[in-house]
Structure 1
Amino acid sequence: MATISLKASVDKKSNRVVFVESDELFVDILFSFLTMPMGTIIHLISNLLPTNDIGCMNNLYKSVENIDVKYFRTEACKDMLLHPHNAAAAYCKSLKLKIDDLDILSFFCCEIPNCSYSGYKLLSHYKNVYCGCGRPMNRIKNLACPAPSNSGSDERNRGVFVNGLARFVVSDYFQVMPASTSASISLLTKLGVMDTSNIEERIFDIGVTEVLELLECSLVSGTPLTEVLLARKEVPELRNEDSLQRTSLMREIPEHQSEINGETSVRLVVCKSKKVVCYAEASKDFVDLLFSFLTIPLGYLMNEKHGGQSKGCIHHLYDSVIDLDATKYLKSNDIKEILLNPKIAPGSGYKNQPLGVKEAVDNQQYYYEFGVITTEIKGYYLNYIPPLLTIMDPKSPFEEGTEGGGFLLDPAMFTVSDDLVVTPLSPVSELSLLEKLKIPFNDIYVCEVQVGREEASRLLAASFVSESALTDTFIRKMPKDALISDVLKE
């Protein structure tokens, strides 16, 4: 099993990691966290014990798992939310430790081979998509000619995101800096360590499990290296009283930006006395927005928070990429852009998504040559040109002939709890929820709010740091255009 060796400076007195020293292998893995979709992160850390909830993201993920597939436009819609692809997967496949076991070089074709030769000639990145002939595209094919790796055997060309000969120090709170005496002294000073006799040098070998623990701790704790390397498990719980403060750290978005992308509306059932959202009644458009959060990379979420702090220390990692000189320490300015403004994977977006998150475009041409998916024509036979394949939108049933739709079907309606548990709408269940919350009928009112760019951005941030995302988004900072109408009079 592959491992990475880390040299650490440990403060024996406080039993805390001050910093670790590493080459590009470890830093590449840390930076890869920023490219990972939230659904992938929740999936990967779900097997760790104990499991820590990441705001409401765990509830969104479980909601997708629990909702019957009949509510989704295609079976692939559910799969792509539970196992979202990484738009930077071509880079991440070269990491020393394989964190995500998703095979990015796998494609799916029609179960009838002749259909790929002379029929509909379709290709899918996801299984459970149906071909134009009506048969499932579940015949798995691997790419014969993958793109060359970004790293090489030459020491000077090593590295995925950072240059191979660079050395770094990584603080306990995930600040990454070029290795230097001044950087080391600065970190020691911040921790109040003045006596070097208390500093001990230790070597740690970490594998995939430890990396996943670091990922989880970075989202909920300020000292992930100490908690993982020294097994000092003191991961704090996310407290609701903290969430509004962190959400409000987002940069204000001008009101006119709410109209840049499509808007949707949602009906909130609010407790008057407690000033909290009991639940929301929402159409598929609003739930499409919520579920799309699982496809969004962590780096995009950090960028969307505009420098605001999070519960853990992952924002320090993001800020480190901002501060690093791309010409000296990163592979290129394009790599820096991939880390700071990552896109969602091809096929993951949909029209009129309020956030307007950009989708990566797969401009590669794929051919079906003698039962193999290839990106180049081999020319085994004179004048033979293999069929060019068309990549399907996994969210669109082929018979519809439309692309750009969301994940769910109209006219389905859903109930969304304050902590973003999504279920098909049920008046009986809603009454049971009010009973569980011990809220009488005469203490509620219903309001309808519009959700545009600004509201979607606040909701994304709240879903990451809060356990009461609807309240933090709509009540504690009620949109100016909210349409409030008491439908249940006292």
Structure 2
Amino acid sequence: MENKINLKALVDKRSNKVIFIESDHAFVDVLLSFLTIPLGTIIKLGREHSVPVEIGCINNLYSSVEEIDARELRSDACREMLLLPRNAAESHCKNLVLQIDHNAKPTQYFVCSRYCLATATSKFFSYYPGLLCVGCMDTMHREISFSVDVASAFVKERVRLLITDDLQLISPFCTSIVSLFTKLEVTNRNTTEELHFNIGVDEVMNLLISSLVSKTPLTETLLKHKPVAELNHDNNYQAVHIDPQTGGEMVLMEEDNISIKLIISISKNIVCYAEAGEDFVNLLFSFLTLPLGFVTKQIQDGSLKGCIDQLYWSVQDLNAQYLKSNHHKEMLLNPKLVPGFCYNSLLGIEEAAYYYLGSGLTTDSSLIHSNRSSESFKIEPTDHNSSARGFLKGPAIFTVTDNLVIRPISTIFELSVLDELNVPFTDIEERVMLMGKKLALSLLVASFASDSALTNAFISEPYQE
């Protein structure tokens, strides 16, 4: 029998909109878990639940990975890393009351036949069987499991919070409620009514999608029962600001920059397509592994159609008394990649650290310091450098369209792109660019919030029909 969560909602009868809902930690944890989900997983979940969502150009990236020839990839594991990206907060999400990714395979861990990890003679493991153990050079094919006991994912178990229609978390105190009512111009209690909802996995999935495309996702999910399906700006791109902690002018070594050739329509001032090496495509493919919270953090000007950024920033303002620890708050505000999934340093995202604690894994280093067991130590995958080399074999050249459809370089494909855009040969120019950290983050944001990623990342004033 499917689990359900009971929600109590206060609804404005005049506008037929949710004012706020009341819930205990179970629903709050589900909501906060959205920030930890990789973008590729969101695409996969949308397909599985028959509620596909167009997240800028991310769908095209996902489809490009599906369609790329296996001979272009370093290994079969690379495709799996991108189409089924792992969540660094997996252990904290596995006990959620409602599991939207209930079909996900649990992460597998392999050690050598000598079981080096258990005897602490080696501090390495592998996600995939067949690799060599760094400690003894034996094949790592013995699967082991780690026990994880997380009763509540992120907030304390007796926590109760109010959640507004645009997913802000507020305390259930009079001052917060009065401020909310004033903002929504609700002056008469007679214009409101209390409704009860029992929601399941389908409603949570709809809520996730609606949070990306609507300012009123609770209303869309609970009262209209239909999520909006597209996240783009209809080619009317609004500039976004990069987090000053990760953006700005960066001093990079020459090898840290990525060179790309842009084919631009002079009259329309748009990028028709780009020709680039495997390093650029590796960067684009890595977007699928990024947690939603990391992407949301980069968007600070409110230009998104949805309100997932409201959830993110309300976590930042949330009183520490509601969260289990500072570590849990950090997991939401600065979500990390699973160890071994970091392609390069251009995006500024870190890998989580895994610590072996007795018979379990944890990402909380503070638990190590307080544990006296000699078996407590940091571990990392033996193949953790594989993603640093990228997902693709090289050298290779690819054609990348403005909306991030990626193909091995093909003149016929490029001609079809120009035909579709109605751009003649006499109207194009080539422009070679070096992309560093700032442009990489701009491209990430444009890929998420627009269906013209290359134009919006590299050209300041795109053509408008």
Normalising by structure 1, what TM-score? 0.81
Letter of the structure 1 residue corresponding to residue 29 of structure 2: D
2: CA distance between counterparts of 1:395 and 1:453? 20
Distance in 2 of aligned mates of 1:121 and 1:168: 41
2:206 and 2:227 in contact (8 A); partners too: no
1:329 matched to which residue of 2?
322
CA distance in 2, matches of 1:307, 1:341: 18
Tell me if 1:391 matches 2:381. Answer: yes
> 1:405, 1:125 → 2: CA distance?
17
Larger displacement relative to structure 2 (59-68 or 229-238): 229-238
Q: Match for residue 71 of structure 1?
A: 72
**Which of 253, 269, 288 is equivalent to 2:263?**
269
What residue is the counterpart of 1:377 in the other structure? none
Q: Deviation per CA, 1:50-78, whole angstroms, max 9, x where unpaired?
A: 52201111111111111112111111011
Q: Paired residue for 2:296?
A: 302
Runs of 4+ in 1 over 6 A off after TM superposition: 113-117, 134-137
The Cα of 1:167 is off from its aligned counterpart by 1.1
Is 1:279 matched up with 2:263?
Answer: no
Instruction: Kindly indicate whether the alpha-carbon contact (under 8 Å) linking 1:415 and 1:424 is maintained by their aligned counterparts in 2.
Output: yes
Q: Which residue of 2 aligns with 1:439?
A: 423
Match of residue 53 from structure 2: 52
Quote the Cα distance in structure 2 between the aligned partners of 1:47 and 1:180. Answer: 39
Aligned match of 1:364 = 356
For residues 285-323 of structure 1, give each alpha carbon's deviation from its aligned partner in whole angstroms, at most 9, with x where no partner exists. 001110111111111112222464422000110011111
Q: Which moved more, 1:258-267 or 1:235-244?
A: 235-244
Query: Residue in 2 aligned with 1:156?
Result: none
Other-structure match for 1:14 = 15
1:124 alignment partner in structure 2:
126
- Contact kept? 1:257, 1:454, Cα under 8 Å: no
Deviations 1:166-223 (CA, angstroms, capped at 9, x unpaired): 2100011101111123323332332222222121111111111111111111011111
Of 314, 317, 329, the residue aligned with 1:320 is: 314
The reply on whether 1:221 has 2:217 as its aligned counterpart is no
Once the two structures are superposed, residues 222-262 of structure 1 have per-residue CA deviations (whole angstroms, 9 ceiling, x without a partner) of 111111111253727445367531x4243563223566982
Check the 8 A contact 1:266/1:282 in 2, yes or no: yes
Tell me the residue number matched to 2:339: 346
In structure 2, relative to structure 1, the CA distance for the partners of 1:217 and 1:323 (3 Å cut) is: same
Counterparts of 1:365 and 1:234, CA distance in 2? 42
Q: Write the letter of the residue equivalent to 2:153.
A: V
- Does residue 207 of the first structure (1) align with residue 208 of the second (2)? no
SS at match of 1:359: coil
Q: Distance in 1 between matches of 2:184 and 2:255?
A: 45
Aligned-partner residue type, residue 354 of structure 1: L
CA shift, 1:49, in A, is: 4.2
Residue 467 to residue 263, structure 1, CA distance change in 2 (3 Å) = same
Contact 1:419–1:467 (CA under 8 A) maintained in structure 2: yes
Q: How many angstroms apart in 1 are the aligned matches of 2:252 and 2:309?
A: 25
Q: Do 1:6 and 1:21's aligned partners in 2 also have CA atoms closer than 8 Å?
A: yes
The answer to whether 1:448 aligns with 2:448 is no
Distance 1:77 1:303, change over 3 A: same
Q: CA RMSD for the aligned pairs?
A: 3.1
Task: Look at both structures and tell me which one has the larger radius of gyration over its CA atoms.
Answer: 1
Change (3 A) 1:185 1:359: same
1:374 counterpart residue number = none
Q: Residue 290 of structure 1: which of 269, 274, 284 is its match?
A: 284
Gaps of 5+ in 2: 360-374
Residues 1:366 and 1:436: Cα distance change in structure 2 (over 3 Å): farther
Three-state SS of the structure 2 residue aligned to 1:358 is coil
Amino acid in the other structure paired with 1:473: A
Q: Is the Cα contact below 8 Å between 1:106 and 1:140 reproduced in 2?
A: no
Aligned residues: 435
Among all aligned residue pairs of Structure 1 and Structure 2, give the percentage whose two residues are the same amino acid. Answer: 45
Show CA shifts across 1:369-423 (max 9, x none): xxxxxxxxxxxxxxxx9xxx98331774xxxxxx731111101211111011111
Report the Cα distance in structure 2 between the residues aligned to 1:169 and 1:301, rounded to whole angstroms.
25
Note the C-alpha offset of 1:94: 2.3
Is the alpha carbon distance of 1:170 and 1:39 closer, same or farther for their aligned partners in structure 2, counting shifts above 3 Å? same
**Are 1:422 and 2:406 matched, yes or no?**
yes
Aligned position for 2:37 = 36
Instruction: Describe the shift of the 1:170–1:122 C-alpha distance in structure 2 as closer, same or farther (beyond 3 A).
Output: closer
Task: List per-residue Cα deviations over 1:126-185 (Å, max 9, x = no partner).
Answer: 46x6668x9998x78351x41332x2xxxxxxx321112221000111011111233233
Change (3 A) 1:242 1:421: closer
